[in-house]
Amino acid sequence: MRTSFVFSEVVTGLRRNVTMTIAMILTTAISLGLLGGGLLVVRMVDKMQANYAGKLEVSVLLTNDVSANDKDCTQQPCAGLRSQLDQTSGVESVVYQNRDEGFERFKQIFEAQPELLKLARPEAIPATFRVKLEDPERTEVIKNAFEGKPGVKGVDDQGKFLERFFDGLNGFRDVALILALIQAFAALLLISNTIQVSAFTRRVEVGIMRLVGATRWYTQLPFLIEAVVAGIIGAVTAVAGLVLFKAFFLDRITRNLTESGIIPPVGYLDILIVSPWLFLVAILISATTGYVTLRLYVRL
């Protein structure tokens, strides 16, 4: 196989259909960019789940009466609730946080908003059992057992909030992947079309090649490589697009959230880890489409 010959054919082919080639590259790039975005969200959700998994707690909030009068949880019903919590299976640790400690923590969290702190009074903060579970998913057990008991004001599940947040992210991921799929379909049709046009414009060459006994591979490979090269350029464009999107847009709008550690930042490393998949998908789709098109529509 003479590679120099095949590649000069590929370059000629791509140049000859330059508008079609650009359309093919852009469609592929957008499709892969969306796929990449979706994959980045998947990575982010995974990271967040790992981050929070060890930290998620269930808060058992105590009534105002207990909060005001029982600083060290030595009286009933507080002491009884604590021992019940300790004995509940699946509970890893129970920490009692009285009203003053709670207020301190509140002040810490909202350090940046002094006007909020001015308004806040310790009386508004209930004493709380912060319960850590062995399996953070199984918050229902605590909720069912302790909600409504004397001395308990309510059970607050951090996981519920996070779940809603994850739902939002997963929704975004699904939309990105569906759009990627639609774009991929468009890219597929464009690839198929470009190859057919390309084969038509080169029918004389191909005719001669067949006549002098060039093998199937020799006649088809330039077309296949043409599609794959366009796919790879599309993937490069998509990765560049993701990097630019991160640098100029995503970093700016998520700065507050990432600096306070609520969501993990999307790093260049994440893009680097996702990009081989984009290249792989690009090569697979373009090569398969090219091959099928040549088989079905082009007599070579």
Q: Looking at beta carbons only, is 8 or 49 nearer to another protein?
A: 8
Q: Is 90 in the site for another protein (CB under 8 A)?
A: no
Q: Is 294 in the site for another protein (CB under 8 A)?
A: no
Distance CA(246)–CA(43), nearest Å, equals 15
Q: Is 296 in the site for another protein (CB under 8 A)?
A: no
Q: Is 5 in the site for another protein (CB under 8 A)?
A: yes
Report the residue from 49, 64, 76, 215 that binds another protein according to the rule CB under 8 A: 215
Q: Is 209 in the site for another protein (CB under 8 A)?
A: yes
Q: Of all helices (H) and strands (E), which one includes residue 255? A: helix 251-259
Longest dimension (CA), the chain: 100
Q: Which two tokens stand for residue 124?
A: 């508004």
Q: Looking at beta carbons only, is 173 or 202 nearer to another protein?
A: 202
In the complex, least distance from residue 275 CB atom to another protein, rounded to whole angstroms: 35
- Three-class DSSP category at 94: strand
Q: Is 256 in the site for another protein (CB under 8 A)?
A: no
Q: Is 212 in the site for another protein (CB under 8 A)?
A: yes
Q: Is 218 in the site for another protein (CB under 8 A)?
A: yes
Distance CA(157)–CA(144), nearest Å, equals 12
Q: Looking at beta carbons only, is 18 or 119 nearer to another protein?
A: 18
Q: Is 211 in the site for another protein (CB under 8 A)?
A: yes
Report the residue from 31, 183, 192, 219 that binds another protein according to the rule CB under 8 A: 219
The site map against another protein for 167-206 (x = CB under 8 A) is -------------------------------------xx-
Q: CA dist 256 to 27, 183, 267, 291, Å?
A: 33, 33, 15, 49
In the complex, least distance from residue 18 CB atom to another protein, rounded to whole angstroms: 16
* 57-62 β-sheet, strand order: 91-97, 128-133, 57-62, 152-157
Task: Write down the residue that tokens 């000859």 correspond to.
Answer: 16
Number of helices (H), then strands (E), in the chain: 12, 4
Question: Partners of 61 in the beta sheet?
Answer: 128, 154
Residues that bind another protein (CB under 8 A): 1-2, 5, 204-205, 207-216, 218-219
